[in-house]
Structure 1
Amino acid sequence: MRNPSRTMLYSAAGIATAFILVVAVNIIAGALYVRGDLTADRVFTLSDSTKKIISEINAPVHIRFYYSKNNPQTPGNIKSFASRVEDLLEEYRMASHGVLKIEKLDPAPYSDAEDSATMEGIESQLLSSGERIYCGMSISCLDKSQNLPFLSPQKENLLEYEITRAIWDVTHDVRKTVGVISALPVLGMNKVQPTAESIASGKFAPPGPWIPFKELEDTYEIRKIPLDAESIGSDINLLLLVQPVGMSAKCMLAVDQYLLRGGRLIVMLDPVSLYSIVKSATDPSYRETVSCNLPAFLNAWGIKFNNNIVVADMTFATRIDMPQTKITYPSILDITSKGINRSNTVTALLEKIGLVFAGFFEFTEGATLKKEVLIHSTADSMPVSSFLANRPEMLVRNFSPSGKVFDMAVILRGDFKTAFPDAGKNLLRKSISSNSAVVLVADTDFLFNDVCVQFSKDQFGRKFYVRKNDNVSFLHNLVGYLSGDNTMINIRGRQTITRPFLRIGALKSKSEQEYKNKILDLEKDLIQTQEKINNLQKENSGRYSKYVFSPEQQTELRKFQEKSVAARKELKNLRKGLYGSIDRIENTLKWLNISLVPAIVIIVGLSWAAAVRRRSSSK
Structure 2
Amino acid sequence: MSTRFITWLSMLFIATLFCALVLLNNQLLSVYRVDLTENNVYSLSQGSQQILTEIDEPLNLYFFFSDKASKNMTTLRNYAVRVQSLLEEYAGRSNGKIKLHILDPEPFSEKEDRADQFGLTGANIGTAAEAIYLGLGATNALDDQQVIAFFDPQQERFLEYEISKLIYQLVNPKQVKVTLLTDLPVAGGQNPMTGEFEQPWTFYTQLQQLYVVDKIGSDATELPKGTDVLIVAHPKNFSDELLYAIDQYTMKGGRALIFVDPHNESDQMSMLLGSGMGANSSNLSRLFEAWGVNYDEQRVLLDAYAGLDVRTQNGDIARHFGFVGFSANELNDKDVTTSNLDLINGASFGIFKKGASSGQRWATLIHSTKNSDLIDSALYAQTREPLALSQEYTSNNQEYVLATRITGNAKSAFESPPEGIESDGSLSSTKDLNVMLVGDTDLLSDRFWVQQSSFFGQTITTPFANNGDFVTNAVENLAGSDALISIRSRGTFARPFDKVEQLKLVAEQKFREQEKILQQQLEEAELQLAQLQEQQGEGGALVISSQQQKAIDDFMAQKIEIRKSLREVRHQLDKDIETLGNLIKFTNIVIAPLALVLLLMGARRLTRSRYKTKNASSIAAVKEPS
User: What's the TM-score once normalised by structure 1's chain length?
Assistant: 0.51
After superposition, the Cα gap between the structure-2 partners of 1:296 and 1:413, relative to the gap in structure 1 and judged at 3 Å, is closer
Residues 514-533 of structure 1 aligned to structure 2 (within 5 Å): none
| 1:360 is aligned to 2:352 | yes
Residues 402-481 of structure 1 aligned to structure 2 (within 5 Å): 409=406, 412-414=410-412, 416=414, 428=421, 433-434=426-427, 443-444=438-439
2: CA distance, partners of 1:64 / 1:291 = 52
After superposition, the Cα gap between the structure-2 partners of 1:473 and 1:262, relative to the gap in structure 1 and judged at 3 Å, is closer
In the other structure, the counterpart of 1:554 is none
Identity %: 19
Equivalent AA in structure 2 for residue 234 of structure 1: P
After superposition, the Cα gap between the structure-2 partners of 1:609 and 1:395, relative to the gap in structure 1 and judged at 3 Å, is farther
The Cα shift of 1:164 comes to 1.9
The Cα shift of 1:62 comes to 1.1
| 1:305 is aligned to 2:298 | no
In the other structure, the counterpart of 2:134 is 135
Residues 263-282 of structure 1 aligned to structure 2 (within 5 Å): 264=254, 266=256, 268-269=258-259
SS in 1 for 2:482: coil
Residues 80-479 of structure 1 aligned to structure 2 (within 5 Å): 80-127=78-125, 129-143=128-142, 144-175=144-175, 177-181=177-181, 209=203, 221=211, 223=213, 225=215, 227=217, 230=220, 232-237=222-227, 240-244=230-234, 255-256=242-243, 258-259=245-246, 264=254, 266=256, 268-269=258-259, 292-294=281-283, 297=286, 305-309=295-299, 359-360=351-352, 372-375=359-362, 385-386=374-375, 398=396, 409=406, 412-414=410-412, 416=414, 428=421, 433-434=426-427, 443-444=438-439
2:414/2:428 contact within 8 Å kept: no
In the other structure, the counterpart of 2:76 is 78
2: CA distance, partners of 1:373 / 1:169 = 28
Equivalent AA in structure 1 for residue 137 of structure 2: S
2: CA distance, partners of 1:267 / 1:130 = 44
After superposition, the Cα gap between the structure-2 partners of 1:295 and 1:109, relative to the gap in structure 1 and judged at 3 Å, is closer
The Cα shift of 1:444 comes to 4.1
Root-mean-square deviation (Å): 6.3
The Cα shift of 1:45 comes to 0.6
2: CA distance, partners of 1:498 / 1:309 = 45
The Cα shift of 1:419 comes to 11
After superposition, the Cα gap between the structure-2 partners of 1:363 and 1:104, relative to the gap in structure 1 and judged at 3 Å, is closer
The Cα shift of 1:496 comes to 3.9
In the other structure, the counterpart of 1:486 is 482
Equivalent AA in structure 2 for residue 255 of structure 1: L
2:64/2:136 contact within 8 Å kept: yes
The Cα shift of 1:224 comes to 5.2
2: CA distance, partners of 1:80 / 1:447 = 44
Equivalent AA in structure 1 for residue 158 of structure 2: L
User: What's the TM-score once normalised by structure 2's chain length?
Assistant: 0.50
1:184/1:242 contact within 8 Å kept: no
2:66/2:133 contact within 8 Å kept: yes
After superposition, the Cα gap between the structure-2 partners of 1:429 and 1:439, relative to the gap in structure 1 and judged at 3 Å, is farther
Decide which of 44, 47, 52 is 1:46's aligned counterpart: 44
1: CA distance, partners of 2:442 / 2:84 = 33
Equivalent AA in structure 2 for residue 130 of structure 1: A
The Cα shift of 1:95 comes to 0.8
2:181/2:218 contact within 8 Å kept: no
Equivalent AA in structure 2 for residue 115 of structure 1: D
2: CA distance, partners of 1:8 / 1:290 = 96
2:61/2:101 contact within 8 Å kept: yes
| 1:63 is aligned to 2:55 | no
After superposition, the Cα gap between the structure-2 partners of 1:184 and 1:616, relative to the gap in structure 1 and judged at 3 Å, is farther
Larger Rg: 2
1:417/1:431 contact within 8 Å kept: no
Aligned positions, number: 427
2: CA distance, partners of 1:489 / 1:439 = 10
2: CA distance, partners of 1:299 / 1:165 = 30
Consecutive unaligned residues of structure 1, counting only runs of 5 or more, are: 192-204, 319-328, 341-345, 365-369, 402-406, 422-426, 450-464, 500-593
1: CA distance, partners of 2:607 / 2:478 = 65
After superposition, the Cα gap between the structure-2 partners of 1:614 and 1:7, relative to the gap in structure 1 and judged at 3 Å, is closer
